[in-house]
Structure 1
Amino acid sequence: MIEGIRSAVKILAPGGGVVEVRALADGVTHSGYFDDYERLARAVEALDADPSVAGIYVTLNTPTPALLARRANRIKMRLSRKDATTADADIIRRRWFPIDIDPVRPSGVSSTDEEHDAALAAAERIAAYLAEQGFPAPLRADSGNGAHLLYRVDLPNNEAATALVKGALATLDALFSNEAVTVDTANHNAARIWKLYGTLSRKGDNTPERPHRRAKVLNAPEEIHVVPLDRLRHLAGLLPREEPSQPKKGSRRIDLAAWLTEHGIAVRSTRPYQGGTLYVLAECPFSPAHKDGAFAIQFSNGAIFAGCHHASCGGGAQRWPELRGMYEQKRTPEEKEAAPAPSPAPAPVDDEHRRRAREILQTGDPLAFLLDTFNKSHVGDRTVAECLVMSLASQSVENTNGLHVAISGNSGKGKSHACTTMLQQVPEEYRLAGTVSDKALYYNGSLQPGTVFLFDDVSLSDDLQEVLKAATANFRVSIQHQTVTTDRKLQICRIPERCVWWLAKVEDAGDDQVANRMLTVWIDDSLEQDERVLRYMKERETREDHSDGEDPDLVICREIWQTLKAERLHISIPYARSVQFSATTNRRNPGILFDLVKASALIHRFQREAYDGGIRANLDDFTAAARVYAAINGETGGQETKTTKNEAAALATVATMGWEQFTIKMLQEGLGLSYHQTYRILHGYTSRGTAYSGLLEKCPAVSFFDTMVTEDVEGYAMRRREHLFSFDCAVYRRWAHGGGVWLDGDRDGGPDNPGGPPDLSGSTGGCDIAAGLPQDSSTGCNDQAAQNDVELADLCTGRERRLPISTEVQQNIPTVPGTGSRVSESAGACETHNAGTDPGILVSRGGNLDQTPFSRPPTGIAGCNTLKRDVRRGPMPQEPLSGVLDHREFLRVKVELGRCDLCRTGKAAYRSREARTSLCEVRRFAEPEHEHR
């Protein structure tokens, strides 16, 4: 500790000389003067150990050497009134320009970690700005509660120097102070004392929420250069100190606040200034090269001054006439379309909501809270909500390409409601929903970095898809658009960086490059979900508590996102080398998995291990990401295959039915959709110039050829052409083998190898988290033991897929995902009420056309694989015939059952408790003529 204090004093007093040490305790002051820094360090060490000392300070600027005689190299405890300390007149020269950034908090207490981090982040923004202004690198330091920046100067101690420092601090205060942090403008006097680095800051009691911290130097340049005098003068003179001349008599007085709102110019903060009001703008309207720096002032006499402190924008010059001309000129239709409608004021946020949000972020489960709040208003669709949350979190991850979401599903099944419900959790200033053109996006001057764009059942034009591709491919930078105004002047418009796009459409995005950049998730449109939604609606309509107002938890959600959006963090995944993928044909998908891990870590940022400038993701983040990744590669998404919900259901139906050949009408009856919808699923279509690909283009297992179909119409043979589709099950399985991910537990790593893969000896080790759905033919696990517990069905032979459970008997899982059709989960695609009459299909046999009538077997013990014998179907009874064993009652078991109860020869593998019957593999999947009665 002594060495740290000695080093700090040598930095603060370059060249040596006398330094006053002043300690502030409970109502008393201890002070001494030192030119022996070794004795100073020992004296300070003793003071720092005294719990009554709140803080220890030193003089920054050079005092007259004569002051040493007051208390030479010693500390006098408890100064009396006659004991003097250093005054402004005692300073012979200024050597530091001090910037103290304090978080806003109650007086007499230490800062929270959140407040402390906000001050450090503000210091980085100020240092970056001053570097642009020509300032050399500063000394960066942590004061214990806030942040310090120290710039070396060489100024006399006179009124001009004091005014110069005061003006420079006033400029920084006006431009960078806000509701969270302030730049202390009181540090302009020459005898200012400063926190001595290496000592403890004790404001209030030391509590877990507001701990005492030790002040320290964060970064000191090897050589600290002096700030040029002209740069300091420029900074001090950026803002006008006197009121501009009053507006001409008779001219309309402009209310600046109303004018900014009317023209969609977002304001970051406001503050009193010179008797008027200073507005710090959220984004610079003069240049797309930077965001911060722009301001506007309305003085008490009504005069307005506007400008930007960046040198490229005039360095604080008056630009109000130019700003007014930019927004009051005749607007194009695109600009009028982009003009934001007045939005209602957001719900007030009180201290209790902020406290609750901080508590959830620091000690609770923020992801679960966000999802549970979502499910208060929207039933089900948990994976959809999780994708939207991860998308929002990705905006605050420094090293990410962003996560965007494409939601597909049938009309009226809740896509729009899911998106708008989640959008309510986003702070008002970060939302953009509705219909908007590509040019209007550029002209919308109110857009902020981190905005959410929601396109609800909007057909994306070619231009808008190009905008979307550009914005998603360049997530971290803004997208510029150059145009010419009506007076032929160049105008540069832009879409800010780190915006995420949510698309809610029945079809896919319509462009493969767009789809590849998005999380592809399906809305739940199953019959069971319909029933859950209906129950929720009935329950809501019976309420008598007048609970139609906004859920208070939404305010907490917005506070959570405000906190998470306040800072961007670099996130490291220490175990990234151990992550394995079952499919890597689409090279964007592994990146999406890693971005999901980072998004999970960002949501839990206050509960993760930190390093300089970032945090480390842990295994919980991998589990959360893998769960989402598995779901969107399975029953709730087509991430790897890029299929929509209806397309995946069509493929699952064909595979489950065991069809090697089928027609549109056959598939239509299996799905319960219209003929036109089914045709578009297979062939794709074009709408408003945008081509939407179908399964013939997406899935290599599906092809078609023309056939001739003969129908008997009133005794006449009618022949017509029809497409006969073929399906190759082996190709389908290879193409759609899922999106399994796992951590390779065989590699070296663990506590002794922090840079390598982690120790996976626990439950996570070695086992992948696979999609495990109809299009997934992986086993779901790497080790043999796990393979024995997981049996995935061969869809092409009609077996049900099974997942491990704790009992001996495994539970049936439906093989066909809900499609909004009449296909139930219990019977799959073979359910009887999907039956119908289909004219025979003429199949060429040696040049002859043949047609044979065919009737579908009853839903009994014969499985769907019997349909592979012929693709033609006939009527089918609604329920199994009397005495027929229902195949749905039979479950595979792992215990010894003995012989089959029917054939008495095969080894029993299935058991029905209801029928008290055991069957072998052969009898379980018997031909229709061998049905067991």
Structure 2
Amino acid sequence: MTTRPRMPSSNHVSGLSTPDVRTTWAWLFDGHHAVEMRVLTAHGPRIGRFTREDAFVRAVRQAQANPTATGIYATLNPIVTDAVWTAPWNVLTRSPRAAADRDIVARRWLLIDIDPIRPPHTNATTLERHAAARVGQRLVEGLRALGWPDPGVATSGNGIHLLYRIDWPNTVATTTQVRRILSLLAQRFNTPDAAVDESVYNAARITKVYGTTPRKGPATPDRPWWSARILRIPRHWMTVTADHVTALDLWATPSLNALPSRNGSVSRPRLFATSDGLDRLIHWLSQRGLTLAGDPRPLTGDEGWLIPLVCPWEAEHTTPSTPTATAVLWFPDGRIGFRCFHAHCTHRTIRDIWRVTGTPYPSFSTKGGPSHDAPGSSHVK
């Protein structure tokens, strides 16, 4: 099936499409976990967590009929049903707590949101919407040439949404990966008229409920309220795999994906890698007073990851620090290392980090449970 993002005709300018609302539910509900709906109104947000389609559709209808509602959204990825939620289920409430990234079970959708460039707080014109559709078409065709499957295609109202099925864990490494993918696509496909939104990378990201009509800015004859509609559904949904993501290396540029090695050479790391062990280590370091200096990065030519840190001995440095000058190194087999390129720290090892934290890290390997080996015996320098 050929996926060509085309904007709907003018009879889709406003209103509610119940079939699209039901399709949105079918896409987002995995049969086991909750979907969170958020309705933005002039009097504050209304939030609900839903496990029933009939209740979801009824709440959407009520929200669309509310003249103060400016947008109806839902979480892209499933929410754990045992997450802290004190409000009633399957209804909208004024609960102050929206889903956080930690509440997400797993990543099920990669959203590519393409917005037309236009004045702030305005709706798009017809020409601006078509500019977003053209970028979407080029992007889909470019990814298809790399072997990617076809996405679901929708209009967000003003722009284009491309939804690719994924099955990735909700980890820091996955978040880093999604950010890198969006940045790479933006660099390759952005135009002066439309751009990929690079901010939609987090796990608890919300999307428009398709079939509804956002009412963000004032409606004018040339900038009306446009409905969010589903435009194309693949005949056969296929999941984006590690091989698909690795194929993006063909588009990678040194400024985006290169990682400097110790000898100053530059090579291109893998774009796809995840591990619960990496997340546990990052959380453990943060809990013990160490400050992260950036997102983790895959190590060049290896299966490990680099976790940038603000050096605990930064006061001794005589030259400015760079984002990756100081880092803890993590490997899936449980090894953990440390490196700092500043002259005052070249002699330091992971043992010095353990002295700062007050205790060695109880290493977790992807092959088994926790081990409490001494740093010198099971961890690299």
Distance 2:72 2:260 in 1: 44
1:90 is displaced (CA, Å) by 0.5
SS of the residue 1:46 aligns to: helix
> Which one-letter code corresponds to 2:93 in the other structure?
K
Q: Secondary structure at the match of 2:105?
A: strand
Given the two structures, how large is their TM-score scaled by the length of structure 2?
Answer: 0.60
1:71 to 59, 76, 88: 88
Equivalent of 2:198 in 177, 181, 185: 185
Structure with the bigger percentage of helix: 1
* Paired position in structure 2 for 1:701: none
For 2:180, the equivalent position in structure 1 comes to: 167
By how many angstroms is 1:21 displaced? 0.3
Matched, 1:127 2:143: no
Deviations 1:80-125 (CA, angstroms, capped at 9, x unpaired)? xxx2110001111000111000001122111011101110111111
Matched, 1:146 2:146: no
Q: Which residue, out of 190, 193, 198, partners 2:211? A: 198
Does the 8 A contact of 1:20 with 1:86 survive in 2? yes
Which residue number corresponds to residue 215 of structure 1? 228
Identity between Structure 1 and Structure 2 (%)? 37
Equivalent runs, 1:720-739 vs 2, <5 Å: none
What is the CA–CA distance in structure 1 between the aligned matches of 2:164 and 2:25, rounded to whole Å? 16
> Does residue 252 of structure 2 align to residue 238 of structure 1?
yes
- Superposed, 1:330-729 pairs within 5 Å as none
Match of 1:96 in 2: 109
Secondary structure, aligned partner of 1:3: helix
**Residue 191 of structure 1, CA deviation:** 0.4
How far apart are the structure 1 equivalents of 2:59 and 2:195? Answer: 33
Equivalents in 2 of 1:71, 1:175: separation in Å? Answer: 45
Q: Is the 8 A contact 2:30 2:78 kept in 1?
A: no
Quote how far apart the aligned CAs of 1:178 are.
2.0
Deviation at 1:3, TM superposition (A): 3.5
Q: 1:3 aligns with which of 13, 19, 29?
A: 19
Separation in structure 2 between the aligned mates of residue 94 and residue 38 of structure 1, nearest angstrom: 24
**What are the ranges of 5 or more consecutive residues in structure 2 without an aligned counterpart?**
1-16, 262-381
Contact map agreement 1:31 1:75 (CA 8 A) in 2: yes
Question: Counterpart of 1:39 in structure 2: which amino acid?
Answer: A
One-letter amino acid of the structure 2 residue matched with residue 114 of structure 1: L
Matched, 1:39 2:52: no
Cα deviations by residue, 1:30-57 (Å, 9 ceiling, x for unpaired): 1100001111101111101112111110
User: 1:164 touches 1:232 (CA, 8 Å); kept in 2?
Assistant: no
Distance in structure 2 (CA, Å) of the matches to 1:105 and 1:53: 22
Residue of structure 1 in register with 2:76 after alignment? 60
Amino acid at match of 1:231: H
> Residues 568-609 of structure 1, C-alpha deviation per residue, up to 9 Å, x if partnerless?
xxxxxxxxxxxxxxxxxxxxxxxxxxxxxxxxxxxxxxxxxx
Aligned residue among 98, 120, 131 for 1:118:
131
Q: Secondary structure at the match of 2:92?
A: coil
1:230 and 1:148 map into 2 onto residues whose CA distance is: 23
Alignment-derived partner of residue 267 in structure 2: none
Q: CA RMSD in A?
A: 2.0
1:109 corresponding residue in structure 2: 122
**1:341-362, Cα deviation, whole Å (9 max, x unpaired):** xxxxxxxxxxxxxxxxxxxxxx
Alpha-carbon deviations, 1:405-436, whole Å to 9, x = none?
xxxxxxxxxxxxxxxxxxxxxxxxxxxxxxxx
After superposition, the Cα gap between the structure-2 partners of 1:27 and 1:176, relative to the gap in structure 1 and judged at 3 Å, is farther
User: Matches of 1:224 and 1:106 in 2, distance apart?
Assistant: 36
Quick one: structure 1 residues 63 and 206, their matched pair in 2 at CA, closer, same or farther if it must change by over 3 Å? same
Distance 1:239 1:70 in 2: 47
Q: 1:205 and 1:144, CA in 2 relative to 1: closer, same or farther beyond 3 A?
A: same
Equivalent residue for 2:41, pick from 5, 25, 29: 25
Shift of 1:26: 2.1
Q: Deviations over 1:738-794 (max 9, x none)?
A: xxxxxxxxxxxxxxxxxxxxxxxxxxxxxxxxxxxxxxxxxxxxxxxxxxxxxxxxx
Partner amino acid, structure 2, of 1:26: A
Structure 1 residue 216, shift from structure 2 partner: 0.8
Q: Which amino acid aligns with 1:50?
A: N
CA contact (8 A) 2:41 2:68 kept: yes
* Number of aligned residues: 242
Residue aligning to 1:906: none
Superimposed CA distance per residue, residues 465-486 of structure 1 (whole angstroms, 9 cap, x where no aligned partner):
xxxxxxxxxxxxxxxxxxxxxx
For 2:47 and 2:259, how far apart are their aligned partners in 1? 44
Q: 1:30 to 1:234 in 2, by over 3 A?
A: same
Structure 2 counterpart of 1:216, one-letter code: R
The question of 1:48 aligning with 2:64 is answered yes
Give how far 1:5 is off. Answer: 1.0
2: CA distance, partners of 1:32 / 1:244: 46
* Separation in 2, partners of 1:191, 1:119: 24
SS in 2 for 1:23: strand
What is the alpha-carbon distance in structure 1 between the residues aligned to residue 31 and residue 142 of structure 2? 29
1:369-417: per-residue Cα shift (whole Å, max 9, x none)?
xxxxxxxxxxxxxxxxxxxxxxxxxxxxxxxxxxxxxxxxxxxxxxxxx
C-alpha distance 182-108 of structure 1, shift in aligned 2 (>3 A): same
- Post-superposition shift, 1:179? 1.2
Provide the C-alpha distance between the structure 1 equivalents of 2:32 and 2:197, rounded to a whole number of angstroms: 27
Q: Is the 1:13–1:60 Cα contact (8 Å) retained in structure 2?
A: no
Residue 17 of structure 1 aligns with an amino acid whose one-letter code is H
**Structure 1: how far apart are the matches of 2:35 and 2:136?**
26
Return the letter of the residue paired with 1:18: A
> Relative to structure 1, is the Cα distance of residues 156 and 244 closer, same or farther in structure 2, using a 3 angstrom cutoff?
closer
Query: Would you say the 8 A contact 1:164–1:233 is kept in 2?
Result: no
| SS of the residue 2:222 aligns to | coil
1:13 aligns with 29
* Deviation, structure 1 residue 231: 1.4
Match of 1:505 in 2: none
The answer to whether the Cα contact below 8 Å between 2:28 and 2:35 also exists between their aligned partners in 1 is no
User: Secondary structure at 2:82's aligned position in 1?
Assistant: helix
Consecutive unaligned residues in structure 1, runs of 5 or more: 246-933
Q: Is the 8 A contact 1:35 1:73 kept in 2?
A: yes
Partners of 2:228 and 2:177 lie apart in 1 by: 28
Using the alignment, how far apart are the partners of 1:203 and 1:60 within structure 2? 21
Distance 1:41 1:219, change over 3 A: same
Contact 1:2–1:42 under 8 Å retained in 2: no
What secondary structure is seen at the aligned counterpart in 2 of 1:210?
Answer: coil
The letter for the 2-side match of 1:150 is L
C-alpha distance after superposition, 1:162-219 (max 9, x if no partner): 1111110000011111211110111110000011100001121111110101101101
Structure 1 counterpart of 2:182, one-letter code: L
Contact 2:116-2:128 within 8 A present in 1 as well: yes
C-alpha separation between the residues in 2 aligned to 1:117 and 1:16?
38
C-alpha distance in structure 1 between counterparts of 2:30 and 2:139, whole Å: 24
Query: In 2, distance between residues paired with 1:17 and 1:62?
Result: 6
The amino acid of 1:72's aligned partner reads W
Q: Distance in 1 between matches of 2:19 and 2:183?
A: 36
- Per-residue CA deviation, residues 501-525 of structure 1 (Å, 9 max, x unaligned), is xxxxxxxxxxxxxxxxxxxxxxxxx
Query: Which SS does the other structure have where 1:63 is aligned?
Result: coil
Asked if 1:225 is matched to 2:233, the reply is no
Deviation of the 1:27 alpha carbon: 5.6
Of structures 1 and 2, the larger Rg is shown by 1
